[in-house]
Structures are given as structure tokens and as C-alpha cells.
């Protein structure tokens, strides 16, 4: 009598076997860690949730293996795209968009961070991949076509691409992308110009940002068949999880907290994120001061989308966590005119227009953070914004109607943060 069919992917991180993902015929998945990875005290960092080497093995034994239906464990689920891009992929693969194992098969060669998910031959699937679950028929993974795909989490149409001689092609396992390219939206006008301008303003105020650029649409090659508006530019941001041709491990805070993307607006507060950063990163005080500046800049730029997935940790040396550069900062109020709220709670409020320096003091106290360096950096940031932003906004490529709305937003802020222009 035949058993349930199962195929599997092996997970590796910087060349070390991390574990396996088993995918069953009826949509169940099991994530397990390899015994050799758990036993290795010199293992590369997998997640901030298992950062303590003294408790790693005990915690890992309690948490894994873990089974789920359709969705993968949040460590992996959050590496996959959301929204329109996921729908496009699901349509191409002829699967349900919530069936995540085939998506991981398809995208596993160029994921965010340094994890690789690679198919295992049927005869090579070890028992450790699924445990004692009755009679199972091991089968090879259906890889369809794993070349030239796009594997970035997020809801906008964005693609992992590598740049050669001024042109951009989709990345894949053989040539991973070193740029994230976001194409214009058919729903919201001038998003690339908006995000490019906001990221430039953020950098002027002291936010740590990667290299960014506007890319002519004609320079993008091998894009899938997607509908594009009559706009000339895509937005490009250099991938900070790639350095000198090597993968750098990274994870967003939905992964850190084992939260699914659907919970990215409600699973935690900015205090909880700050506390984790301060207690666990290599330069905790510097990183929470930088986080405070980004929180302020999100207020100043009317960005209501700084949810769990838009804060990330990097592991540049494979072990020591640091706060990643900023990304996905744009003037969201341009598209939602009555929006006036943060994505998450800070000092028991989400309201931009009531936030003052006192709220940042409360945020620091509630998260047990050093108050003085945070206030020093906040005052420096608002000083730079007041001095530099009016002229920079005037000269930016942002759509004129959005510039006017942003200036109106500045005038409505609390007096601690108001900008006259």
C-alpha cells in the first residue's frame, strides 16, 4: 500500500546544513533542524530568537520540528513575496497562493539573506526531514523552472536583479541579484519618485540608507509580463544582504518574532523591537539611537508602513547582529489622505500629529533604553531636517502634488517636529 508522498528541500547557511523543509502532497509542511547544526556551537546565526548559544540546543529541541498547513514556518514564510507578486507567481506555477512549499522550491536560490533552499533527490531525503509520520513515499521535488525568478518579500512588484553595464536582469541561484528594483504601480501614481525622494530626505536627516537610484524602465530586461503605467522610472535600492558577491544573512522582525506577514501590524510594538535591538545587537546603543531617528523620520515623512517587516537585522560576520540600513520609506499619506498613524504602537500611541519629544522619552523608558543619546540624535535629526529638507524637497523628483501634500503634513506636526517651508 502506497504511503503519503513527500518531497524535501535542504536549508543551508554559509555552506552549513541548517535543516530541512518537507512538503507533503496535501499541503502540510514540516521544518526541522539538522542535528549537526544544533550540536555545532560555532554555527552561523540563524535568528535573533535563538541568539544565545548556551540555550540554543534546548530551545531548538522545543521549537522544532514544527508542522504547519500550507504556510511555512514564519522564518521561511516571510522570505516569500506577498500581494500581487505572489499572485503572479502562483498563477505561473498553477498553485494556490497560500501553498508556500512550491513557492520556496521556485525561489529558494535567491532569497533575502543568506539562506538557500535546494531540492533533495528522493533517495537522499533523510528521516530527520519529517520524523515518524507513518509510511511515506519519498519523491523528487518538482522544480519547474528555477532560473531567473524574483524572491523578495513585500507587496509591491519588486524584483531581485543584477546590474551589468547599466542594464538589469533578473537574479537567480547562479547569479543572485544585487539590486532590488521596484516597478511603477498601476494603482498609486509616481511611487518610485516618491520613495527615491523620501529616502534621499531620510539620509539627509541621519538615517543609514543603502545606495539608491532611479532606473529607466527600458534598462530592465527579462521582466515577467506585468502591466505597467505610463511612467518612465523604476526605483532601485542596492541589496544590503549582498556584499562583494557574497550573501549576508538577514532577517526582518516578523521572522525574529515568528510572526506571519498577516500579523505585521499588530504582533509587537516599537518598544519591543527596540528592546530586542538594544539587548542583542553588537552596537546596541548606536542601533537604538538610529531606530529613534528612523521613527522620527517616518513621522516627518508621513510613512504609515513601518511595520515588522520593514525593520531588519543583518549578520555581516555571520554571527553578530546589527540593525540593517533603512528601506521602504515613502510618503504613504500621499495615497491615503486621511492616514495619520504609525504602523505600530509607540509610547501607547500611533498618532503622528500628537507625537512629541516626550513620547520618545516614554518610549525609551518603557524599552529600558539610554535616554540621553536618543534625545541627542533626535534633536540633531530634526535640526538637519529643518535646515536641509525644504530645499531638498523643492529640487527632488517627487511629483509636485505630493510635494505640496508633504509640506502641509510638516505644518500639522507637533511643534517639537514642525518644519516650515
Residues 105-133: tens digit of each pLDDT: 999 998 999 999 999 987 788 877 765 44
pLDDT attached to residue 6: 84
Distance between CA 65 and CA 21 in Å, rounded?
10
pLDDT of 264-309, one tens digit each?
999 999 999 999 999 999 999 999 999 999 999 999 999 999 999 9
Which pLDDT does position 280 carry in this prediction? 95
Q: Give dist(CA 6, CA 419) in Å, integer.
A: 59
pLDDT for res 140: 52
Strands 349-351 and 167-170: what pairing?
A: unpaired
Cell of 137: 513515499
Q: How far, in Å, CA of 253 to CA of 259, rounded? A: 8
Q: Residue 76's closest CA among 120, 112, 45?
A: 112
The DSSP annotation for 48-86 comes to GGG--TTTHHHHHHHH-SEEEESSPPHHHHTTS--HHHH
CA-only gyration radius of the chain, Å:
22
What is the DSSP code (8-state) at residue 192? H
pLDDT of residue 139: 55
Which pLDDT belongs to residue 77?
A: 97
Calpha distance 330→209 (Å, rounded): 13
Nearest 5 degrees, angle CA 171-CA 173-CA 178? 40
Whether 305 sits among the annotated catalytic residues: the reply is: yes
Strand 4-13, strand 16-24: pairing: antiparallel
Handedness of CA 381, 383, 385, 387 (dihedral sign): negative
Separation of alpha carbons 361 and 359, rounded Å: 5
CB atoms within 10 A of CB 331: 24
Instruction: State the Cα–Cα distance between residues 168 and 269, nearest whole angstrom.
Output: 37
Kindly give the interhelix angle for 357-366 and 371-395, rounded to the nearest 10 degrees. Answer: 140
Residue 226 has what pLDDT? Answer: 83
pLDDT tens track for 205-227: 999 999 999 999 999 998 888 88
Is residue 287 within 8 Å of residue 321, measured between CB atoms? no
d(CA 317, CA 198): 30
Catalytic pick among 178, 287, 305, 328: 305
Joined together, the cell numbers standing for residue 163 give: 546590474
C-alpha cell at 350: 500611533
Using DSSP, state whether 109 is helix, strand or coil. Answer: coil
Place of cell 530527520: 128
Sheet holding 312-315, edge to edge: 249-252, 312-315, 322-323
Helices (H), 133-186: none
Query: In which residue ranges of the chain is pLDDT below 70?
Result: 1-4, 130-156, 173
- The stretches of 144-282 forming alpha helices (DSSP H) are 191-204, 253-256, 270-280
Q: Are 154 and 309 in contact (CB under 8 A)?
A: yes
Count of other CB atoms within 10 angstroms of residue 251: 26
pLDDT digits (tens, 9 = 90+) for 174-188: 777 899 999 998 889
Amino acid at each position: 500500500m502506497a504511503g503519503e508522498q513527500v518531497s524535501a528541500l535542504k536549508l543551508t547557511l554559509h555552506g552549513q546544513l541548517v535543516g530541512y523543509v518537507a512538503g507533503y502532497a496535501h499541503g502540510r509542511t514540516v521544518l526541522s533542524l539538522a542535528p549537526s547544526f544544533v550540536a555545532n556551537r560555532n554555527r552561523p546565526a540563524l535568528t535573533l530568537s535563538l541568539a544565545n548559544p548556551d540555550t540554543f540546543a534546548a530551545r531548538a529541541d522545543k521549537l522544532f520540528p514544527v508542522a504547519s498547513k500550507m504556510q511555512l514556518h514564519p522564518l521561511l514564510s516571510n522570505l516569500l513575496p506577498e500581494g500581487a507578486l505572489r499572485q503572479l507567481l502562483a498563477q505561473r506555477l498553477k498553485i494556490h497562493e497560500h501553498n508556500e512549499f512550491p513557492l520556496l522550491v521556485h525561489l529558494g536560490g535567491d532569497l533575502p539573506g543568506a539562506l538557500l533552499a535546494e531540492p533533495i533527490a528522493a533517495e537522499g531525503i533523510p528521516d530527520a526531514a519529517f520524523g515518524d509520520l507513518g509510511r511515506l513515499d519519498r519523491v523528487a521535488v518538482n522544480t519547474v523552472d528555477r532560473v531567473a525568478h524574483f524572491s523578495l518579500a513585500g507587496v509591491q512588484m519588486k524584483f531581485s536583479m543584477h546590474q551589468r553595464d547599466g542594464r538589469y536582469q533578473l537574479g537567480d541561484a547562479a547569479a543572485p541579484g544585487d539590486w532590488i528594483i521596484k516597478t511603477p504601480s498601476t494603482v498609486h501614481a509616481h511611487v518610485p519618485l516618491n520613495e527615491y525622494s523620501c529616502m534621499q530626505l531620510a539620509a539627509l536627516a541621519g538615517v543609514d540608507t543603502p545606495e539608491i537610484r532611479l532606473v529607466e524602465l527600458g534598462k530592465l530586461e527579462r521582466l515577467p509580463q506585468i502591466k505597467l503605467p505610463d511612467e518612465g522610472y523604476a526605483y532601485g535600492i542596492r541589496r544590503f544582504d549582498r556584499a562583494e558577491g557574497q550573501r549576508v544573512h538577514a532577517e526582518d522582525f516578523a521572522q525574529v518574532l515568528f510572526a506571519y506577514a498577516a500579523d505585521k501590524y499588530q504582533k509587537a510594538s516599537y518598544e519591543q523591537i527596540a528592546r530586542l535591538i538594544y539587548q542583542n545587537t553588537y552596537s546596541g546603543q548606536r542601533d537604538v539611537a538610529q531606530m529613534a531617528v528612523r521613527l522620527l523620520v517616518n513621522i516627518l515623512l508621513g510613512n504609515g508602513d513601518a511595520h515588522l517587516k520593514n525593520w531588519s537585522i543583518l549578520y555581516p560576520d555571520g554571527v553578530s547582529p546589527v540593525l540593517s540600513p533603512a528601506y521602504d520609506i515613502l510618503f504613504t499619506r500621499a495615497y491615503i489622505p486621511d492616514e495619520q498613524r504609525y504602523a505600530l504602537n509607540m509610547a501607547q500611541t500611533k498618532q503622528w500629529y500628537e507625537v512629541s519629544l516626550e513620547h520618545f522619552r516614554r518610549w525609551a523608558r518603557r524599552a529600558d533604553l539610554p535616554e540621553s543619546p536618543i534625545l541627542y540624535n533626535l534633536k540633531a535629526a530634526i535640526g538637519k531636517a529643518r535646515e536641509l529638507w525644504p530645499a531638498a524637497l523643492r529640487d527632488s523628483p517627487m511629483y509636485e502634488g505630493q510635494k505640496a501634500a508633504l509640506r502641509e503634513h510638516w505644518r500639522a506636526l507637533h511643534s517639537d517636529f514642525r518644519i516650515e517651508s
